[in-house]
Structure 1
């Protein structure tokens, strides 16, 4: 039975915190400075975490390795189980051509590129984030924008900035699920708290996208559309996360905001249509479009109503499956198959001497979001007309496509579990709690740093979630508020993370020019982060404390 000692180095909390920070510092440096491949950086940082646990705390080698194995297992199920099956559904739509139908459907909503940017990058990007996350929205929406005539650099910038407000509930709320697991806090409370923070971003992001596309003039000319889109997204995100279902939050918000914007466009259009006039050229430069005639790919081909229906069908099926899973009788039946067991051989106590809940592994194989996506995918197969053989081939290809991501996520979660089990996270949290009430300002910044380095709100929550709770308890702040702030602040680090920058640059043919993209998005990231810090501080004070569940 292992019980961590938080001041293991000469009885000094500060000195022990220096050693406890080594795995995170290594991960930051390897990814952000050395620019090492994410999976390799994660594995090396995991090794450092194990060494610190064994030689500094000291934790038995067997316990440290068992904690790592449990973290890796949790990384695959339920986290990667969601991502793999969501991207499988997307890959099937690509193989059948229905994704192209969907893209053309978006393009015909408006011939104004500012409106197209908002609908595709923000609304559809939020839907992709809801279903897959992990860079998928940036890669797909940036390519769609280029196909509509956007300059590559602008397309990538718009896609990156748009991928903010939906991120905390991405991949069917995987970041929230992870946060609840590593902190031991109720998932519904965390979902509700995040749902009272990120909607504020949702209100302003559509306007920010138009500002990037066409400056202040464009913002003035499109206020009705951006206001309707942002406000409806915020209201839907708040309502769904607080009163309905965390996994469905972004799906509902994306569809509601898209529908509201499309309905508005039936009765209102900008006084002046904006379409970039650019010379023909390749997609490899920042000042030329990928296609000289974007209309060629969107207007010349008319899709039948049947094809449009089939293109939207997979997303409707997903919503229906998850909605049915929330019906009490069905929910209870799914939960009956859930098994919870102690991780074999892992025996842990908390620093206070109480039995740790970390070794308890919940295996809800039937009711897990990834399993529900399998059901949705099977229903989708006949609807989009793909053969069982091609569907199976797409499933295997999805694993090959995500091989590096699978290894990275499993390694990062293993790192988080080792740090949590050994006491490294608790040491850092206890030390940082010395900031007192000011920790409320630092909390979103920690989340931002975590996502900026790891590229994932899920990974950031796994790394810092327990730390946020430990610091909150020491500082007399709400653990739910601080844990949620980690996720809400983290979404703003997504656009500056090396992984997302690389994905965006590769998608638009600008590999090697990630620095140009970084300079374009850094200010947006910092400004939105400052706004989040102010909001969280006010929520920790009497001014807005009524917002904390």
Structure 2
């Protein structure tokens, strides 16, 4: 039996926390400074965290490796199970040429790349985050931007930055429901609090996107569309999370934001459209083969039937996920869920309880990946693609994502070892020692959790109870700090090694994740500091009225 303690190194919490950060420092240093490929940086980080667990935290080696195996299994299912099936659905549209139709449809709304960044990366990406999450929106929107003529690195960076504001309510609000179950706080209160934090972020994200595409000129010329899209998204996110359905928050916000921008474009057009280079193919490397998206020289008029088929896979995804949320169907799908104690783990916490992470949950039917697989099979029929061609597309998708799969498995293995050995607890308790100032630091803890795991859900599971304990010890609002974990966490997603790997694989720049990381570091730091300031002000009488 193993019982983790927060101060195993010389009885010092500070020294233990510093040692516990070594795996994270290893990953980010190898990625951002040494410029290693993500899969090898993640593997090295995993090796370091195993050494720290065994040598510093005195975790039995067998249990440390068993924890790593469970984390890797979770990385494969459900996370990469979701991503592979999501990109397979996209590849089906490429194989039949209907993705080119979808691209032309978006181009008809606007041929301005700055507007396309808002509609595709922010609004459509938000919709995909609402439905699936776990890297799906980054993978699909990055490739869509490539098809619209974006340069590869810019497409990946824009997709990653856009995938922030919707994350806390992603995957049908799973991060919020997980946070509620972990902390024991009312789900409605947590949703309402997060809904008074991330909508403020949503207002600024589209402005950043247009500046990433076209610099200051883009910001000066396109700000009305960015403000209308971001403000509409934020208002609907606030209203839905506070007064309507938590699960449908991002769906309403994304569709509303896109509609608002489209309506604005009927009466206003930005000056000086950003130069649009010819769309490039992503095939030939580890990326998704988008040769089918190359435009023809002449203007193509798509039939109504082709337009319907182009949008059909995404409409099918919405329908399948919506049906799966219906109580009778959800109850039926739950019958396919298998729970079992992960072999080789015998961990008891200091209070005598056992961590929930040692129980592995296999949602064979209810998983987002399984629902995406069903959506793909239905889309295959609608698009008229034969089983053999669909199977070839699936095999190609797995091959193209092979390094991303390895990276995600290693990152989740690292996260599980850090969590179960007590390393994350040491870091969290050390930060909580800041007292009342912890309100400012609280979002950083969530940011750190998502940076490690790539998932706001996982970060909430890691640090949710710690945030509540810190709040109770410092006299701060538990609801505020628990929500801060989720809201701060969304800003760590753009630099998470697993999401960097997914974005790089999608656009065909695998091995250059370190370049992406360096491009995104300033944005994640600026956004995080803004969120820290907001949370701190909400802990004071200045904005304390915002806390439910």
TM-score by length of 1: 0.82
Q: 1:30: which partner in 2?
A: 30
Q: 1:71: which partner in 2?
A: 71
Q: 1:228: which partner in 2?
A: 228
Distance in 1 (alpha carbons) for counterparts of 2:226 and 2:298: 25
CA 116–20 in structure 1, closer or farther in 2 if over 3 Å, else same: closer
Q: 1:340: which partner in 2?
A: 339
| Superposed counterparts of 1:375-390, under 5 Å | 375-390=374-389
Query: Following TM superposition, by how much is the alpha carbon of 1:247 offset from its aligned partner in structure 2, in angstroms?
Result: 6.5
Check the 8 A contact 1:413/1:462 in 2, yes or no. no
Distance in 2 (alpha carbons) for counterparts of 1:78 and 1:300: 42
Query: Following TM superposition, by how much is the alpha carbon of 1:198 offset from its aligned partner in structure 2, in angstroms?
Result: 2.0
SS at match of 1:269: coil
Q: 1:436: which partner in 2?
A: 435
Q: 2:329: which partner in 1?
A: 330
Distance in 1 (alpha carbons) for counterparts of 2:484 and 2:220: 32
Check the 8 A contact 1:447/1:489 in 2, yes or no. yes
Q: 1:317: which partner in 2?
A: 316
| Superposed counterparts of 1:417-496, under 5 Å | 417-448=416-447, 468=467, 471-472=470-471, 474-478=473-477, 481-495=480-494
State which drifts further: 355-364 or 444-453.
Answer: 444-453
1:84 matched to 2:81: no
CA 11–438 in structure 1, closer or farther in 2 if over 3 Å, else same: same
Check the 8 A contact 1:236/1:253 in 2, yes or no. yes
SS at match of 1:108: helix
Cα offsets for 1:69-122 (capped at 9, x unmatched): 222222222222222221221121121111111111000012444333322332
Distance in 1 (alpha carbons) for counterparts of 2:29 and 2:195: 32
| Superposed counterparts of 1:327-406, under 5 Å | 327-406=326-405
| Superposed counterparts of 1:99-498, under 5 Å | 99-130=99-130, 141=141, 144-145=144-145, 148=148, 158-169=158-169, 193-213=193-213, 219=219, 222-239=222-239, 249-266=249-266, 268-270=267-269, 272=271, 274-276=273-275, 297=296, 300-448=299-447, 468=467, 471-472=470-471, 474-478=473-477, 481-495=480-494
Check the 8 A contact 1:425/1:466 in 2, yes or no. no
Distance in 1 (alpha carbons) for counterparts of 2:177 and 2:436: 27
Distance in 2 (alpha carbons) for counterparts of 1:414 and 1:149: 37
Structure 1 gaps of 5+ residues are: 285-293
Distance in 2 (alpha carbons) for counterparts of 1:170 and 1:158: 18
Cα offsets for 1:195-215 (capped at 9, x unmatched): 432222212222333344556
CA 45–467 in structure 1, closer or farther in 2 if over 3 Å, else same: farther
Distance in 2 (alpha carbons) for counterparts of 1:22 and 1:398: 34
What is the RMSD computed on CA atoms of the aligned residues? Answer: 4.0
CA 217–53 in structure 1, closer or farther in 2 if over 3 Å, else same: closer
SS at match of 2:345: coil
SS at match of 1:363: strand
CA 216–378 in structure 1, closer or farther in 2 if over 3 Å, else same: same
Query: Following TM superposition, by how much is the alpha carbon of 1:541 offset from its aligned partner in structure 2, in angstroms?
Result: 3.6
SS at match of 2:433: helix
CA 272–402 in structure 1, closer or farther in 2 if over 3 Å, else same: closer
Structure 2 gaps of 5+ residues are: 283-292
Query: Following TM superposition, by how much is the alpha carbon of 1:158 offset from its aligned partner in structure 2, in angstroms?
Result: 4.4
Cα offsets for 1:467-490 (capped at 9, x unmatched): 656655554545554454344334
Query: Following TM superposition, by how much is the alpha carbon of 1:151 offset from its aligned partner in structure 2, in angstroms?
Result: 6.7
Cα offsets for 1:392-415 (capped at 9, x unmatched): 222232222222222222222222
CA 168–155 in structure 1, closer or farther in 2 if over 3 Å, else same: same
Query: Following TM superposition, by how much is the alpha carbon of 1:245 offset from its aligned partner in structure 2, in angstroms?
Result: 6.5
SS at match of 2:357: coil
Q: 1:289: which partner in 2?
A: none
Query: Following TM superposition, by how much is the alpha carbon of 1:313 offset from its aligned partner in structure 2, in angstroms?
Result: 1.0
Check the 8 A contact 1:31/1:453 in 2, yes or no. no
Cα offsets for 1:373-422 (capped at 9, x unmatched): 22222222211221122222222322222222222222222222222222
Distance in 2 (alpha carbons) for counterparts of 1:517 and 1:26: 17
State which drifts further: 87-96 or 174-183.
Answer: 174-183
Query: Following TM superposition, by how much is the alpha carbon of 1:431 offset from its aligned partner in structure 2, in angstroms?
Result: 1.9
Cα offsets for 1:158-209 (capped at 9, x unmatched): 4454343234455666766887788787877665544432222212222333
Check the 8 A contact 1:234/1:253 in 2, yes or no. yes
Distance in 2 (alpha carbons) for counterparts of 1:421 and 1:474: 23
CA 5–496 in structure 1, closer or farther in 2 if over 3 Å, else same: closer
Distance in 1 (alpha carbons) for counterparts of 2:281 and 2:313: 30
1:20 matched to 2:20: yes
CA 526–19 in structure 1, closer or farther in 2 if over 3 Å, else same: closer
CA 468–264 in structure 1, closer or farther in 2 if over 3 Å, else same: same
State which drifts further: 131-140 or 326-335.
Answer: 131-140
CA 256–525 in structure 1, closer or farther in 2 if over 3 Å, else same: same
Cα offsets for 1:233-276 (capped at 9, x unmatched): 2234345556777665544433332123223333x122745253
CA 419–471 in structure 1, closer or farther in 2 if over 3 Å, else same: farther
CA 97–363 in structure 1, closer or farther in 2 if over 3 Å, else same: same
Check the 8 A contact 1:74/1:413 in 2, yes or no. yes
Distance in 1 (alpha carbons) for counterparts of 2:168 and 2:492: 11
Distance in 2 (alpha carbons) for counterparts of 1:12 and 1:212: 44
State which drifts further: 346-355 or 474-483.
Answer: 474-483
Q: 1:58: which partner in 2?
A: 58
